[in-house]
Structure 1
Amino acid sequence: MPAIHLRLGAFSAALALLALTASPSAAQKKYDTGASDTEIKIGNIMPYSGPASAYGVIGKTEDAFFRMINAEGGINGRKINFISYDDAYTPPKTVEQARKLVESDEVLLIFNSLGTPPNSAIQKYMNQKKVPQLFVATGATKWNDPKDFPWTMGWQPNYQSETQIYAKYILKNLPNAKIAVLYQNDDYGKDYLKGLKDGLGKQAASMIVAEDAYEVTEPTIDSHIVRLKASGADVFVNITTPKFAAQAIKKNAELGWKPLHFLNNVSASIGSVMKPAGFENAQGIISSQYLKDPTDPQWKNDPGMVALNQFLDKYYPDADRADASVMYAYTVAQGLVHVLKACGDDLTRANVMKQAASIHDLTLGGLLPGIKVNTSPTDFAPLSQLQLVRFKGQTWERFGDILSSDVGG
């Protein structure tokens, strides 16, 4: 009996010794290319020029945000080195910039690159290289495909769920509607269109009386609006990026065409769309939101809005606070900081994706009350809730409940 005790004692001692020798390696810092004891290299691609340049403010806001994070000591003691390039919203240029970021700059990940066609052009490359293509700035449904593209993740509510929500509203409130649709002739536009048709179901064929596609290279969409008005539609679903959205609102007013107007939320910015189009021309337009509107007085003393304004005062004083893209960038940058903090000292690309796919009920200051960030290894759609809004005066008014998408990936 004593011999057994002795053996167990020796075994315990050996285990204790093993634990002692193992603990330094267990706590060892782990890095992939782009991360070290002192910095985390983050790549980004934005249309600072070209037809979608209104979105360039997203990259500028993110740059300012990471300067603030660095001034406050960085993330777990590491400074963010944010490298952002212009692709002019042209996919071949996006490919060139992604290669530069991954192969020359050697970034840990590419964060929030903008646009459906640009991100589609680099999705296979990023997944082959096993470099995170994280929180892409596009609501295309295809970013939620962890099985086939485990290195790509979206951020905002997906386009199909948004137009499904509009379709439900139309079916309930205007069952005899005649719908005209204008959409951008690419993956972004077609994704929204699919959601609308899926939401209308078997009634889509009879209710949609006109659909017209425009190319992003067209200088103006006036002729498309003239054609759609001629269809006799009393509902207009406007699937356009900011420049064209403002043109459409203006042209409708010029023609005296007053359908019930639904505007996709990627162009619901007061600063870059509604104001240039003319507030008087935008009355009654319906859209959807998941972010607080910085121009809405109800958020004046809201802690999240106060924090945004303090950040802008110090790090980006020239920002147009009426531009929804500023709030978007601020919020998604907070999302990235959450993921990087969660990574601790394991700054490998695999752990970045693991932490990004393990977000539970995260509330961020810029999100509307009740809207939370959630992901899982099988669900790469961080945000999936929206609230309908109607334009009144110089701002958006929320109405109805927070609506959840019932669209899968």
Structure 2
Amino acid sequence: MTSKSMKGWLPVLAGGLLLTVSVAHAASPARGVTNSEIVIGQASDLSGVTAVQGVNNTDAIRMAFDEANAAGGVNGRKIKFIAEDMQYTVPRAVQAMNKLLNNDDIFLAIGDGGTPMNDANMPAQFAKDVPNMFPLTAARSMYEPYNRLKFAQFASYYDEMRSAVKYFAQTKGRKKFCVSYQDSDFGKDVLAGVVAETKALGMQVVATTAHRPTDTDFNGAMEKLHDAGCDAIMMGTIVRDTNIIIQTVRKMGWNVDLVGQFASYDTAIASLPGGATEGFYCMTPALYAYPDDPRPAVQEFAKKYKARYGREPNFHGEVGYTAAHLVLLGLQNAGKDLTVDGFIKGMESIHDYTDIFGSKFSFGPDQHHGSTRSFLTVVKNGRWVPVEQEALAY
């Protein structure tokens, strides 16, 4: 199979990726696999507090799979994609995954949303030998400890926050770091990164506040951080809580650096009416390519997405599109006799893959974490703009 014959659904291939992995013929078909079909599932937030991310991600994944199907599928098989709404709650996520595993017999899961939801579901998935592919979270638990069935897409919240603390301490002279975070596995991963880097720099976190994902009143929390004298607030927040916290701080007339991460890198924050989020910083593992990006492939993606769904794709839509193409490539590399082991080897044979948005990914045996880069961006005139062109590190 040449890259030319796969042109219909793989936007960018680099580094000779299409080396087909030889797999011994399975004695019995893998679960979720027939001669004509591969069943792939997802437990995503389609109507809850993070739906602005989940819906875009799911739609882009579906579009990529439909494009692959229209081009003939993968090694003669079409993708059947089943997305379940978990509303960003653990009980609904567990219920959704139980359906996908036991009723739909999925071969793999892709883009499952939320750190606590993935942490709750992975044991059941792994008990049935179902890979967890590119969940919509950057928590370390998505790739640590190593498990052959875990594949993560981006730098972790922990790494993003460590890099951000180092930058703001050394470049902007910030000394009193505080953390406002969701009281969940996600938020605690953000907190851990800030604690680790402040300690490495001979500092300590001055104050913290923790909240539930559904909380909407942050007046008391921000007063606490203000009274503690914070000069930078590192935020383990997503979209709605991020916007409310920023608005609360602005109403207080408090000029303090606010710094988010992958979960808050969203156009719904940058374009908040009234410009309240101007100057909000965010660490992100990849840079959002706006629909007016000059690259033809990006423009074509945005045009097709908007024509199909009636809105422009956000960053998490781009993330989903790339995740789907990486999975498609892994399936292609696995060959026609598809097994879980063959698929894993197919993923591990992907090196120096560059997606249409400019992000690069590599995998290998014992290396299922696609990228460790993270960039600092800021909201300027309602758009995300890179502060530094190069990725940050610690």
Counterpart-to-counterpart distance in 1, 2:274 and 2:234: 19
The alpha carbon displacement at 1:353 in A equals 2.1
Q: Of the candidates 272, 290, 293, which is equivalent to residue 295 of structure 1? A: 290
| Paired amino acid for 1:45 | A
Q: Which residue of 2 aligns with 1:349?
A: 340
Counterpart-to-counterpart distance in 2, 1:213 and 1:395: 28
Name structure 2 gaps, 5 residues minimum.
1-22
SS in 1 for 2:180: strand
1:244 aligns to 2:241 (yes or no): yes
Q: Against the structure 1 CA distance between its residues 380 and 405, is the aligned structure 2 distance closer, same or farther, given a 3 Å change threshold?
A: farther
The alpha carbon displacement at 1:388 in A equals 1.7
1:197 aligns to 2:190 (yes or no): no
Q: Of the candidates 246, 267, 276, which is equivalent to residue 281 of structure 1? A: 276
The answer as to whether partners of 1:144 and 1:380 remain within 8 angstroms in 2 is yes
Counterpart-to-counterpart distance in 1, 2:80 and 2:219: 43
Q: Which residue of 1 aligns with 2:221?
A: 224
| Paired amino acid for 1:81 | K
Q: Of the candidates 288, 311, 318, which is equivalent to residue 310 of structure 2? A: 318
Q: Which residue of 2 aligns with 1:169?
A: 167
Q: Against the structure 1 CA distance between its residues 289 and 102, is the aligned structure 2 distance closer, same or farther, given a 3 Å change threshold?
A: same
Q: Against the structure 1 CA distance between its residues 239 and 77, is the aligned structure 2 distance closer, same or farther, given a 3 Å change threshold?
A: same
Counterpart-to-counterpart distance in 2, 1:279 and 1:384: 34
TM-score, normalised to structure 1's length? 0.84
The answer as to whether partners of 2:25 and 2:337 remain within 8 angstroms in 1 is no
Counterpart-to-counterpart distance in 2, 1:180 and 1:28: 54
Q: Which residue of 1 aligns with 2:47?
A: 49
Identical counterparts, % of pairs: 24
1:268 aligns to 2:265 (yes or no): yes
| Paired amino acid for 1:302 | R
1:339 aligns to 2:336 (yes or no): no
The alpha carbon displacement at 1:204 in A equals 6.1
- Worse-matched range after superposition: 192-201 or 138-147: 138-147
The alpha carbon displacement at 1:69 in A equals 2.1
Counterpart-to-counterpart distance in 2, 1:354 and 1:274: 39
The alpha carbon displacement at 1:319 in A equals 2.7
| Paired amino acid for 1:192 | V
The alpha carbon displacement at 1:253 in A equals 1.4
Provide the aligned length of Structure 1 versus Structure 2.
Answer: 371
SS in 1 for 2:361: coil
CA deviation digits over 1:261-281, x for unaligned, max 9?
Answer: 2121221212x22223x3622
The alpha carbon displacement at 1:82 in A equals 0.3
SS in 2 for 1:31: coil
Q: Which residue of 2 aligns with 1:309?
A: 302
| Paired amino acid for 1:88 | Q
Q: Against the structure 1 CA distance between its residues 311 and 347, is the aligned structure 2 distance closer, same or farther, given a 3 Å change threshold?
A: farther
Alignment root-mean-square deviation, CA: 2.3
| Paired amino acid for 2:368 | F
The answer as to whether partners of 2:287 and 2:375 remain within 8 angstroms in 1 is no
The alpha carbon displacement at 1:355 in A equals 2.1
Q: Which residue of 1 aligns with 2:61?
A: 62
1:152 aligns to 2:150 (yes or no): yes
- Worse-matched range after superposition: 112-121 or 234-243: 234-243
The alpha carbon displacement at 1:364 in A equals 0.5
The answer as to whether partners of 2:26 and 2:339 remain within 8 angstroms in 1 is no
- Worse-matched range after superposition: 197-206 or 161-170: 197-206
SS in 1 for 2:150: coil
The alpha carbon displacement at 1:245 in A equals 0.8
Counterpart-to-counterpart distance in 2, 1:130 and 1:296: 38
Q: Which residue of 2 aligns with 1:36?
A: 34
Q: Which residue of 2 aligns with 1:82?
A: 81
The alpha carbon displacement at 1:217 in A equals 3.2
Q: Against the structure 1 CA distance between its residues 195 and 26, is the aligned structure 2 distance closer, same or farther, given a 3 Å change threshold?
A: closer
- Worse-matched range after superposition: 67-76 or 27-36: 27-36
Counterpart-to-counterpart distance in 2, 1:274 and 1:45: 27
The alpha carbon displacement at 1:26 in A equals 6.5
SS in 1 for 2:354: coil
TM-score, normalised to structure 2's length? 0.87
Counterpart-to-counterpart distance in 2, 1:343 and 1:361: 18
The answer as to whether partners of 2:148 and 2:366 remain within 8 angstroms in 1 is no
The alpha carbon displacement at 1:40 in A equals 0.9
The answer as to whether partners of 1:319 and 1:326 remain within 8 angstroms in 2 is no
The alpha carbon displacement at 1:257 in A equals 1.2
The alpha carbon displacement at 1:296 in A equals 7.0
Q: Of the candidates 333, 357, 360, which is equivalent to residue 366 of structure 1? A: 357
SS in 2 for 1:403: coil
SS in 2 for 1:213: strand
Name structure 1 gaps, 5 residues minimum.
1-24
- Worse-matched range after superposition: 349-358 or 32-41: 349-358
The alpha carbon displacement at 1:28 in A equals 8.2
